[in-house]
Amino acid sequence: MASKPFKNRRWPRAIINFIVLYFDNCCIHGFRYVVQAVLLLFERLLWLILLIVSIYFCIIVSLSSIHRYNTKSTHVGLERNYHFWNTTVPSITLCPMQRLNASFFANYCRVNGIKGPQKAILWDFLENLANSTYINFQNIPESDQIDQIIKELRLKPENYMELIYNLTYDSTYEPIEKQRTRSIDGQVNIHVRQVLTEYGLCYLGNSRLGEEYSSRYLIFGKYPEPNKYEATRKLLQYQIGSYFEKDVGFTLLSFSSEAIDSYIHSAFEVMKVDTNFGYTTEGVVYDPVSEEIIAEDNLETETSVQMRKCRFHHESNLTHFPFYTRNVCQQECRINLAFRICKCIPHFYPNRIANPKPVCDYKTLRSCFPRHADFFLKLYEENEHHEKPATCYCEQNCLDAVITTRSALPMIGSKQLLGSIGSAITIKTWPQVRLKRQVIFSMTDLMVSIGSTAGLFLGFSVLGLVEVLYFFTIRLIWQVLGYTL
Ligand SMILES: *[C@@H]1O[C@H](CO)[C@@H](O)[C@H](O)[C@H]1NC(C)=O
Ligand SMILES: *[C@@H]1O[C@H](CO)[C@@H](O)[C@H](O)[C@H]1NC(C)=O
Ligand SMILES: *[C@@H]1O[C@H](CO)[C@@H](O)[C@H](O)[C@H]1NC(C)=O
Ligand SMILES: *[C@@H]1O[C@H](CO)[C@@H](O)[C@H](O)[C@H]1NC(C)=O
Ligand SMILES: *[C@@H]1O[C@H](CO)[C@@H](O)[C@H](O)[C@H]1NC(C)=O
């Protein structure tokens, strides 16, 4: 159909003409029948209805593809070819039950003029403060003398953790090998670091988390000093094993304490304060089975956190922690809950944020926390009327492992044998299944899906789209300028 050059007074007519021209030439089948003058009005109407129905379904089906892309684009599959896997050995977190170093403390007292009976009172107070967690806040002593000493020292709750850190000896840097807190497997050293946990300062061995998870980083924002003693032998960050290896494991030894509490957990996680082995004066040998969940290489790049519903360590959206794991997210829930209920947070949480939350003084720790200990630990409140979960949602770790401990035996006589106490892991059986997060509906699949939907319902294609653009840009300009095609 030929069209005339546009005249100012005939704009609406010209626009309609142009659209008719588009319909007539358009790539989408059926459009042309709507505007063909030779057809009956009834026929044209029929085509119009057909067109509208097709476009409607095209949009509905495309939207459902987009929904699928956003919510169901990943799945977790099962792998069985276990001969070829490398499995990471679980981590151990070991908390010494004697916390402070007597010579550091003596020095601190000398510098600050604490003498005589005051010294014993302060030691008892600080030792219990350093050893406190949700289950034993009530053990922190309370007295007028303590108040008096704290006043003299001008010790503010915000500085509790820093003082405890200053008075704790990081025994992973001990020069004498026999007295060092270290993690060994035969002649190989495995990296151990001091970490800040909900149970004070502890030692963590065989972890896949970055150095952000260390006491120095969480309290002062500085990475720990490199440990030259560890590097004297072959040093591994974490140990892996495969199906054909027998008895892979390591021993985490702590010289600095008479008693320890140990936690065994996935190498991708931090310890959970309520799943400990308990107070022991002997070491413990664990025989765990570790079933891993891994991720396909393209999972991170091709999907967003909302789509895959899991987070990698470096994808933290937490306020108090610079890295993400599920347990750390739950710790943050606890921080928020404590802040809501007791109006302050315990000293053992990192608080290096833009608006630091107030830290509880020891009296609040004694008075407010024990009453709600169960709620804080389980994040779930049960009272006689109703059950109330705390409002907190934590995504899974994209990489993780489920640890099942088959046996945990005390290491009798280890103290005589090794000269120190510690916990050991030996893996006797390797997992025969593991889970894998996979992308099953990627961006390319979405494009193909929408494209083929458009093709199915409208006979539309990429070149058709280009044609639309062409028609309403270059060709429109020609038309306005008065050329006829
Ligand atoms: C398993 O670990 C060994 C080194 O310990 C490495 O050579 C091998 O490539 C790893 N295998 C896989 C599948 O990652
Ligand atoms: C530290 O706390 C644990 C658990 O409440 C307790 O068994 C242990 O005796 C405490 N240690 C000291 C030195 O008080
Ligand atoms: C801890 O030690 C550092 C460096 O020695 C010092 O600057 C800081 O004031 C100490 N903190 C407390 C609470 O004593
Ligand atoms: C206290 O610290 C010193 C190093 O300054 C260390 O030699 C000593 O072994 C530590 N004491 C304990 C009980 O860890
Ligand atoms: C982190 O993200 C999750 C959802 O992805 C959200 O529920 C949570 O509130 C976020 N946390 C913070 C501190 O923004």
Tokens read off for 37:
């003058």
Greater confidence (64 vs 387) lies with 64
Shortest-distance Cα residue to atom 5 of ligand 2: 136
pLDDT digits (tens, 9 = 90+) for 136-169: 999 999 999 999 999 999 999 999 999 999 999 9
**Of 408, 380, 389, 375, the residue nearest 135 (C-alpha):** 375
Report the percentage of the chain scoring pLDDT > 90. Answer: 54
Nearest ligand atom owner, CA of 236: 1
**Count of beta carbons in the 10 Å neighbourhood of residue 171:** 21
Please tell me the distance between residue 165's alpha carbon and the centre of ligand 3 in angstroms: 9
- Note the pLDDT of residue 245: 86
Bridge partners of residue 396, in order along the sequence? 310
Distance CA 93, CA 140 (A): 24
- Note the pLDDT of residue 130: 94
Distance CA 399, CA 55 (A): 43
Ligand 3 atom with the shortest distance to the CA of 163: 13
Ligand 2 atom with the shortest distance to the CA of 98: 13
Greater confidence (191 vs 373) lies with 191
**Confidence band (pLDDT; 50, 70, 90) for 391?**
confident
Please tell me the distance between residue 329's alpha carbon and the centre of ligand 5 in angstroms: 9
Burial of 272 (0-12, 13-18, 19+ CB in 10 A): middle
- Note the pLDDT of residue 3: 45
Instruction: Please answer whether residues 305 and 295 qualify as being in contact, where contact means their C-beta atoms are separated by less than 8 angstroms.
Output: no
Ligand 2 atom with the shortest distance to the CA of 136: 5
- Whether residue 30 is predicted with pLDDT greater than 80 in this model: the reply is no
Whether the CB of 166 sits within 6 Å of ligand 3: yes
Shortest-distance Cα residue to atom 7 of ligand 5: 393
- Whether residue 31 is predicted with pLDDT greater than 80 in this model: the reply is no
Distance CA 369, CA 344 (A): 10
- Note the pLDDT of residue 467: 82
The CB-side HSE value for 97 (13 A sphere, CA atoms) comes to: 14
Please tell me the distance between residue 301's alpha carbon and the centre of ligand 1 in angstroms: 23
- Note the pLDDT of residue 377: 85
- Note the pLDDT of residue 359: 95
- Note the pLDDT of residue 56: 94
Mean pLDDT score, 263-286 = 86
- Whether residue 108 is predicted with pLDDT greater than 80 in this model: the reply is yes
**Confidence band (pLDDT; 50, 70, 90) for 35?**
confident
Greater confidence (20 vs 93) lies with 93
Please tell me the distance between residue 344's alpha carbon and the centre of ligand 2 in angstroms: 24
pLDDT digits (tens, 9 = 90+) for 171-184: 899 888 888 888 98
Characterize the bridge pairing of strands 310-311 and 283-295.
unpaired
- Whether residue 394 is predicted with pLDDT greater than 80 in this model: the reply is yes
- Note the pLDDT of residue 321: 94
Minimum mean pLDDT among 87-96, 119-128, 420-429: which range? 420-429
Whether the CB of 393 sits within 6 Å of ligand 1: no
Whether the CB of 245 sits within 6 Å of ligand 1: no
- Note the pLDDT of residue 6: 46
pLDDT digits (tens, 9 = 90+) for 49-104: 988 999 999 999 999 999 999 999 999 999 999 888 899 999 999 998 889 999 99
Whether the CB of 97 sits within 6 Å of ligand 2: yes
Shortest-distance Cα residue to atom 14 of ligand 5: 317
Instruction: Please answer whether residues 245 and 85 qualify as being in contact, where contact means their C-beta atoms are separated by less than 8 angstroms.
Output: no
- Whether residue 390 is predicted with pLDDT greater than 90 in this model: the reply is no
Ligand 4 atom with the shortest distance to the CA of 179: 9
Instruction: Please answer whether residues 108 and 217 qualify as being in contact, where contact means their C-beta atoms are separated by less than 8 angstroms.
Output: no
- Whether residue 2 is predicted with pLDDT greater than 50 in this model: the reply is no
Minimum mean pLDDT among 15-24, 188-197, 390-399: which range? 15-24
For ligand 1, pick from 85, 86, 243, 297 the residue to mutate: most ligand atoms within 8 Å of CB.
Answer: 86
Tokens read off for 364:
């609040």
- Note the pLDDT of residue 4: 47
- Whether residue 288 is predicted with pLDDT greater than 50 in this model: the reply is yes
Whether the CB of 84 sits within 6 Å of ligand 1: yes
Average pLDDT, the chain: 87
